């Protein structure tokens, strides 16, 4: 089922209108979950960091032992070609995807060179600046590299994220603040996490249990250029209870204020608002 509307799909060398079928029943990706994807955004005429997202999916494919078949620059051009089919001012979610077609050793290891590729473009509105979420804890944790391919944006990781999110929703919250294997805060079920205390910004240090996102890196760069101290460090749940502001960082919405974490309430304060302003200023400067 599609998330958005007005879908365009690139598959087998050409663009198609609609949500077309791209995978067969016997494809390795269908029955063993060897899929990777990435997500970028078009909004207000710009697609920020599109090149970084296209480069990352090729790294993700290699991490899952899938041979990428489309170069970074070629993928960027394909996406731009597909976006020409949308009306001016459209907000579009950009999702390139790879999956393994065949298996080699015992059918389990992906066969070298047998790779499926598609790009799905879905028209999805950007969330308003005031759209906030709430957080709670979850009994589920982020895996480590010895357990799962956490160095890839892989589809097989998302059932774990889904049960985190389902547990949070069952408790009446919008999302889950998730710990790593050692009990330190890693991210949420769907995005990276930041907190603000005394005007300084803190975010979990990348330790190999979660993807340190492209939008996350852009926020850090913008903040530091604006003279704000940013600390990538070890954080616990108590730190978030003591925070002045908390916000999520992800490709889908860029900045999402948090209004509550398990009984601790926050305002969408000046730092969160400034981060959103800086991101939009930077993105629109790319026109």
Strand 245-249 vs strand 230-233: parallel, antiparallel, or unpaired?
A: unpaired
Do 168 and 139 meet the contact criterion of CB atoms below 8 Å apart? Answer: no
Same domain? 108 vs 149: no
Residue 128 lies in a domain: no
**What's the CA gap between 234 and 205, in Å, rounded?**
6
Q: pLDDT band for 286, please (50, 70, 90 cuts).
A: confident
Q: pLDDT band for 87, please (50, 70, 90 cuts).
A: very high
Same domain? 17 vs 150: no
Same domain? 137 vs 84: no
Q: pLDDT band for 149, please (50, 70, 90 cuts).
A: very high
Evaluate if residue 1 carries a pLDDT over 80.
Answer: no
Evaluate if residue 287 carries a pLDDT over 90.
Answer: no
Q: Report the pLDDT value the prediction gives residue 47, as an integer from 0 to 100.
A: 97
In 3D space, the residue among 57, 101, 100 whose CA is nearest the CA of residue 78 turns out to be: 57
Last residue of a domain, one of 123, 142, 159: 123
Query: Which residues pair with residue 249 across a beta bridge?
Result: 192
Phi–psi pair at 74, nearest 5 degrees: -65, -40
Same domain? 167 vs 275: yes
Q: What is the longest distance spanned by two Cα atoms in the chain?
A: 56
Helix (H, G, I), strand (E, B) or coil at 247: strand
Residue 196 lies in a domain: yes
Mean per-residue pLDDT for 93-101?
98
Evaluate if residue 120 carries a pLDDT over 70.
Answer: yes
**What's the CA gap between 232 and 195, in Å, rounded?**
11
Same domain? 99 vs 197: no
Same domain? 192 vs 259: yes
As for how many domains the chain has, the answer is 2
Q: pLDDT band for 105, please (50, 70, 90 cuts).
A: confident
Q: What is the pTM (predicted TM-score) of this model?
A: 0.95
Residue 225 lies in a domain: yes
Same domain? 241 vs 116: no
Query: Which residues pair with residue 264 across a beta bridge?
Result: 261
Same domain? 138 vs 114: no
Q: Report the pLDDT value the prediction gives residue 117, as an integer from 0 to 100.
A: 98
In our burial notation (b when 16+ CB lie closer than 10 A, e otherwise), range 92-101 reads bbbbbbbbbb
Same domain? 82 vs 156: no
**What's the CA gap between 36 and 268, in Å, rounded?**
34
DSSP classification of residue 209: S
Q: Report the pLDDT value the prediction gives residue 99, as an integer from 0 to 100.
A: 98
In 3D space, the residue among 177, 170, 205, 181 whose CA is nearest the CA of residue 191 turns out to be: 177
Mean per-residue pLDDT for 178-198?
97
Domain residues for the domain of 104 are 5-123
Last residue of a domain, one of 123, 149, 180: 123
Mean per-residue pLDDT for 33-41?
97
Per mean pLDDT, which range of 102-106, 108-112, 175-179, 211-215 is the poorest? 102-106
**What's the CA gap between 195 and 219, in Å, rounded?**
12
What is the chain's mean pLDDT, rounded?
Answer: 96
Q: Report the pLDDT value the prediction gives residue 111, as an integer from 0 to 100.
A: 92
Residues 6+ apart with CB under 8 A from 149: 63, 64, 156, 157
In 3D space, the residue among 200, 216, 211, 206 whose CA is nearest the CA of residue 271 turns out to be: 200
Same domain? 96 vs 164: no
Q: pLDDT band for 209, please (50, 70, 90 cuts).
A: very high
Q: pLDDT band for 159, please (50, 70, 90 cuts).
A: very high
**What's the CA gap between 23 and 187, in Å, rounded?**
31
Do 251 and 125 meet the contact criterion of CB atoms below 8 Å apart? Answer: no
Mean per-residue pLDDT for 262-276?
96
Q: Report the pLDDT value the prediction gives residue 265, as an integer from 0 to 100.
A: 98
Residue 184 lies in a domain: yes
Share of residues in the chain with pLDDT > 90 (%):
94
Last residue of a domain, one of 123, 158, 178: 123
């Amino acid at each position: 089922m599609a998330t958005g509307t007005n879908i365009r799909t690139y598959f087998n060398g050409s663009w198609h209108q609609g949500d077309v079928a791209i995978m067969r029943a016997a494809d390795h990706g269908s029955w063993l979950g060897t899929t990777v994807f990435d997500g970028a955004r078009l909004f207000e005429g710009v697609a920020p960091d599109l090149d970084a997202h296209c480069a990352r999916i090729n790294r993700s494919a290699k991490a899952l032992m899938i041979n990428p078949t489309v170069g970074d620059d070629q993928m960027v051009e394909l996406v731009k070609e597909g976006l020409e089919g949308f009306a001016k001012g459209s907000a579009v979610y950009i999702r390139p995807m790879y999956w393994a077609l065949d298996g080699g050793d015992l059918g389990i290891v992906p066969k070298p060179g047998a790779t499926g590729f598609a790009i799905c473009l879905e028209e999805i509105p950007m969330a308003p600046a005031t759209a906030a979420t709430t957080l709670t804890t979850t009994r589920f944790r982020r895996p480590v590299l010895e357990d799962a391919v956490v160095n890839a944006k892989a589809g097989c990781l998302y059932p774990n994220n889904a049960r985190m999110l389902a547990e949070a929703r069952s408790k009446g919250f919008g999302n889950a603040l998730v710990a790593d294997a050692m009990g330190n805060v890693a991210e949420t079920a769907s995005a990276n996490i930041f907190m603000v205390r005394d005007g300084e910004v803190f975010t979990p240090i990348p330790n190999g249990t979660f993807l340190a996102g492209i939008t996350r890196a852009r926020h850090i760069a913008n903040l530091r250029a604006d003279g704000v101290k940013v600390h990538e460090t070890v954080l616990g749940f108590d730190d978030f209870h003591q925070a002045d502001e908390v916000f999520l960082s992800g490709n889908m919405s860029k900045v999402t204020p948090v209004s509550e974490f398990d009984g601790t309430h926050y305002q969408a304060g000046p730092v969160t608002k400034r981060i959103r302003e800086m991101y939009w200023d930077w993105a629109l400067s790319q026109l």
